[in-house]
Amino acid sequence: MSAQSEMKLERAAIRARASKPMLWIGLVSITMIFAALTSAYIVRQADPDWLSLQLPQPFFVSTAIIVLSSMTLWAAAYFIKQNNYAQVTNFVGLTLLLAVGFVFAQFYTYSYMVDEGYYLTGSNISSSFLYILTGLHLAHLFGGIIALIVTMVYALRKKYSKDHKLGFELTATYWHYLTGLWIYLLLFLLFVK
């Protein structure tokens, strides 16, 4: 093996060792942002202009979609371990479709909220928090969709195997985190009134 090939392998190994800790640092940062916002939500509830609102029903459809997308990504991980490239591609593709479905469901919910009189700005600060919390989650989800697109390209090119799946694992970790974060937000908004 040439010195140049060895250097390439060494750089790849260093990048691989650094990837997961860097992802976790990013996830902790995102968690801190949402912890601050949900704390502000709790504190702001004590103000006299706070009006409790009913959580819009379409958010439950979004929840079902994102949970299902995590399940399809788990299925893809299973098929990577089996080196079943066709099924990996199918399940990553299905996850990507569900991710796009989640985005459409969110925008439908925002339209529903406007129809119900809940606006981003106005006299009801609780609806502003609802838009900010769910919108910020949606912004992070767009990053997840980009990662899923890259993962889909790699799946189509049969780059994943039981021995080479770091990129998939990073995408899956981020996506499952977004699913867990959404469930947390839903439960928080449902029960903290």
Q: Per-domain residue ranges for the chain?
A: 3-191
Cα 89 from Cα 150, distance rounded (Å): 12
Cα 77 from Cα 172, distance rounded (Å): 8
Q: What is the pLDDT of residues 130-166, one digit of tens each?
A: 999 999 999 999 999 999 999 999 999 999 988 889 9
List of residues 6+ apart from 28 with CB closer than 8 A: none
Q: What is the pTM of this model?
A: 0.91
Domain 3-191: state its class.
mainly alpha
Q: What is the pLDDT of residues 59-92, one digit of tens each?
A: 999 999 999 999 999 999 999 999 999 999 999 9
Neighbours of 77 (CB within 10 A): 18
Cα 159 from Cα 151, distance rounded (Å): 9
